[in-house]
Amino acid sequence: MRTQVGIVGAGPAGLLLSHLLHLQGIESIVVESRSREYVEKRLRAGILEHGTVEVLREAGLADRLNREGLPHEGISLRFDEEDHRIPITELTGRMVTVYGQHEVVKDIIAVRLAADGQLEFEVTDTKLHDLTTDRPRITYTNAEGRAEEIECDVVAGCDGFHGVSRQSIPANHLNIYDHVYESAWLGILAQTPPSHEELIYTHHDRGFALHSMRSPERTRLYVEVDRTEKLENWSDRRIWDELHTRLALKEGFDLNEGPILDRGITQNRSFVAEPMRYGRLFLAGDSAHIVPPTGAKGLNLAVADVRILARALDAFFSLKKSELMDTYSQDCLKRVWRAEHFSWFMTSMLFSFRGADPFQKELQKAQLRYTATSEAAAKSLAENYAGMPFEWSDR
């Protein structure tokens, strides 16, 4: 097979890139190791920045998002059993939207297939070849067991932290920044209406807790656990009891309970691999960077990456200009490192980090009080949470 851009990974980064390229008349083929059913049901992020929503709308991908997404104009910081609202829209003129990553994936897959886009699911033994030439190749075995090869002009590595794309780059060509935190997230999806109209980020002596939602009927909730914790140690009752304790308010707080539909433990990690380019291979999304979920930046960074990459590839194919391809990595990394810092800041301020000494705990409380009472501090949080405008990082 021959195409202009071979894309490895059918997550939001790879799918959105394929669609943006299609709008520019650029051909692509997407290969994915998982099944379509798996990627459409995989629970991940649920907070879309203002800019992310605008990208999806401009690309014609927001029909269902416009109907079912839940716009939010603020969040609550909860500590010492009191709420402190951060009015994001009032402070920035922007907002975030609650809409699950798997819903974004479903929307893009439907649009790509309707346009006869080439999406290859359930492939195995994917390998990248000749990445430093002008004719890189992707080989794999398709779902029917047949060996396939794609010759292309460019390869986009959008296959996540554990994918083959970054692993195909020689180690001496990458600078790796990796920080693993002591705590992890135990997350559940419950069939019950949200207990609050906005997200609640809670600092508690027993550990961080987050109240979020996915729809008017489903609530997403998290508690901080040790990074070595096992899911089987947490019964439904233990999870709900811990959430009641951590989310409590002095005047009382009614936490809605319901059947738990999904659960899992996610490690807290900050990771950056740079540069995000090797020859004709361009990394995007989790292939190049990971952030703790506390800042709600993972999906949004993936969208920002492929927005820049699509623009660079358009210039390359339509104008025969490679300048934007040459600056792709540095253009992305400006936003990546800002999001890394914000995610680290939120995690450091909210997580209990078992074993932290009294001095560290008092610093956390001081930062929380400052953020809750200073308009300047609250505006900084709001600006980062809603997402820095694209103009901030565009060339």
Q: Which one from 196, 204, 297, 328 is the annotated catalytic residue?
A: 297
93 contact partners, CB below 8 Å, separation of at least 6: none
C-alpha span between 259 and 257 (Å, rounded): 7
Phi-psi region of 24 (alpha: psi -120 to 50; beta: other; left: phi over 0): alpha
C-alpha span between 317 and 20 (Å, rounded): 14
Q: Which one from 99, 140, 181, 201 is the annotated catalytic residue?
A: 201
201 is catalytic: yes
Rg (CA), the chain: 21
Q: Which one from 12, 194, 292, 293 is the annotated catalytic residue?
A: 293
Q: How far is CA 360 from CA 137, 281, 345, 377, in A?
A: 51, 42, 14, 20
* Sign (positive or negative) of CA dihedral 126, 272, 343, 380: negative
Vertex 286 angle, CA 96 and 268, to 5° = 80
Q: Which one from 72, 196, 203, 289 is the annotated catalytic residue?
A: 72
H or E segment to which residue 29 belongs: strand 28-31
Q: Which one from 99, 181, 328, 385 is the annotated catalytic residue?
A: 385
72 is catalytic: yes
Residue the block writes with tokens 């936490």: 255
Phi-psi region of 160 (alpha: psi -120 to 50; beta: other; left: phi over 0): left
C-alpha span between 77 and 315 (Å, rounded): 44
334 is catalytic: no
385 is catalytic: yes
Residues labelled catalytic: 72, 201, 293, 297, 385
